[in-house]
Structure 1
Amino acid sequence: MTWTILTLVFAAICLSLSMADEMKLMKNEIAVIRNLLREQNKRLTRLEMENDALKITVTKLENDNLLMKDRLVNISDENEALKQEVSDLRRHVTTIQEYSNIENLDKQEEPSGAFRETAVHRRLLLSDAGSPSTTPLPVEPVAFYAYMSKSEPTPSNHHALVFDVLKTNLGNGYNKYSGTFVAPYAGTYVFTWTININPHGAHWINLMVNDAVVGGTLADTQVTGDFDSDSNTAVVVLSQGDSVILRTTSASDTANIHVDSRAFTTFAGWRL
């Protein structure tokens, strides 16, 4: 009986030791698995950060690509405008040469006899409308249209707005780097503009001719998520060389002039 009990006790001790070894092995395996999980989480976090950085880079490249496309379009438009100017200048030169030939013909010494009669007959056939003193040179059309490529964060008082994406510039009166239009000819001009404002912001925008205020808008938003878009039009008489800009008249520390791909902040004008 005693031997049997000892045998059972020994078997129990062996079983307990075996279970303890197995528990130890399991704990070690769990620790290894936990370490692997931590490493995997670190790798996933690092990959997510790299992915976010790549997304930012791709977005920047896409924006740069859009800006480059706009620049190419602007260059193409300016090239077409220059071609048109060259063609107009050639036409003007031809017209001036024709006027000059007519004047020279009238100033020539009249011949005698049959040649004199022929010369008189030729002068009689000339139209008075061809005289430089009665027919002014044609004035080329003037028109421009531009919009902002990026938002203006909280611009200060008397800040000139620059519409840097120039789509039309007949007469080359608008400067997309300064935001200024200079009248190439005297006449009556129409100007129109649209200003977008972010939520909880307000801006007074004035149309300036030289130093005089000739038009204005108030763009104002009140609640979260509320954007405002205000437009106005002005008809003004300009002398050659007069300058026209849009500028802020009162500053707000919460107001951004807002730009996105669906709502353009624009400035345009043309000569009647």
Structure 2
Amino acid sequence: MTVIQQVSVDRMKIIMFLPLLLLVCSFSADETETAGQQPCPQDIHAVLRELTASLAVQNERITVLQRENQELEAKLESQKTEMNQLKQLSEEQAGKLKTELQNQRTEANQMKQQQHVTQVAFSASLLEQGYGDTGPFNGRTTLIFKHVVTNIGNAYNPYTGIFTAPVRGAYHFDWKVLGRDSTHTGAYLFRNEEKIFFAYETQSTGWPSASNGASVLLEVGDQVSVRLWAGSRIYDNTEHHTTFSGHLIFTM
């Protein structure tokens, strides 16, 4: 039980006791008159004054305690609000810290990926094993260089014969083709569907061969391939005569 509740109980006891006291005093007065004695109004008034003073004190105590209780409740509410603000601030700071850590991880991964991307080089020959001719075909045909010697960065696909630029930059490519028992042999270097350079050789007998090289600017996703000239036939064996190579010179 709180102090305010206790004071209220005391006050109620006094209020409840007052009518009873008045009744007793009235009864006593009647008996006194009956007995031929005069009542003592001064005693009744003294009791009433004491009760009234006690009630006033109790009322004052209740008022003070109520004010103190209101101040305490206001203080607790203020502390609760402050705690909520601190909690919210802590959550915001934690969110900002989490976001900053994620950004740092993303940046580190991008730097790591960029470091790997800047290391791009490949070299491959036409046949994986054995020997034989490729062509002739009616149209330009993409050559698939299956025997991969180097493929740093995995930008060259040995199943399609296509090199895909992983980063914007300047690249250099070399290609060579060897013919057999043919008067001519040749192959183009293509960037996407754009013909860049042509390597071509013709001779009446023997083994005609042709080679060329080019440095080109590639955007991310650009594709580079070597395509056999229509009607041309090329040859390769375990000596790897027909080749395709390329590497990144620098990023841009």
Scaled by the length of structure 1, the TM-score of the pair is 0.47
Aligned partners of 1:204 and 1:217 also within 8 Å: yes
2:220 counterpart of 1:240: yes
Offset at 1:166? 1.1
Give CA deviations for 1:122-155 in whole Å, capped at 9, x if unaligned: xxxxxxxxxx59x955432001111011430323
Shift, 1:263, TM fit: 5.0
Partner Cα separation in structure 2 for residue 257 and residue 249 of structure 1 = 10
1:214 to 164, 189, 196: 196
Whole-angstrom distance in 2 between the partners of 1:153 and 1:245: 17
Does the 8 A contact of 1:210 with 1:244 survive in 2?
A: yes
Aligned length: 144
Q: Distance in 1 between matches of 2:193 and 2:182?
A: 30
Aligned partner (choices 112, 132, 138) of residue 156 of structure 1: 138
Any conservation in 1 of the 2:185–2:209 contact (CA below 8 Å)? Answer: no
- 1:190-269 matches, cutoff 5 A: 190-223=172-205, 226-252=206-232, 256-269=233-246
Paired position in structure 1 for 2:147: 165
Change (3 A) 1:220 1:263: farther
Deviation at 1:250, TM superposition (A): 3.1
Over aligned residues, Cα RMSD in angstroms? Answer: 3.0
Instruction: Work out the CA distance in 2 between the residues paired with 1:171 and 1:160.
Output: 22
Give, in angstroms, the shift of residue 264 of structure 1: 1.6
Q: Which runs of 5+ in 2 are unaligned?
A: 1-95, 101-106
> Matches of 1:153 and 1:250 in 2, distance apart?
8
| TM-score normalized with structure 2 length | 0.51
Q: Structure 1 residues 155, 219: closer, same or farther in 2, change over 3 A? A: farther
Correspondence 1:143 to 2:125: no
Runs of 5+ unmatched residues, structure 1: 1-102, 108-131
Q: Distance in 2 between matches of 1:204 and 1:262?
A: 19
Identity rate, percent: 28
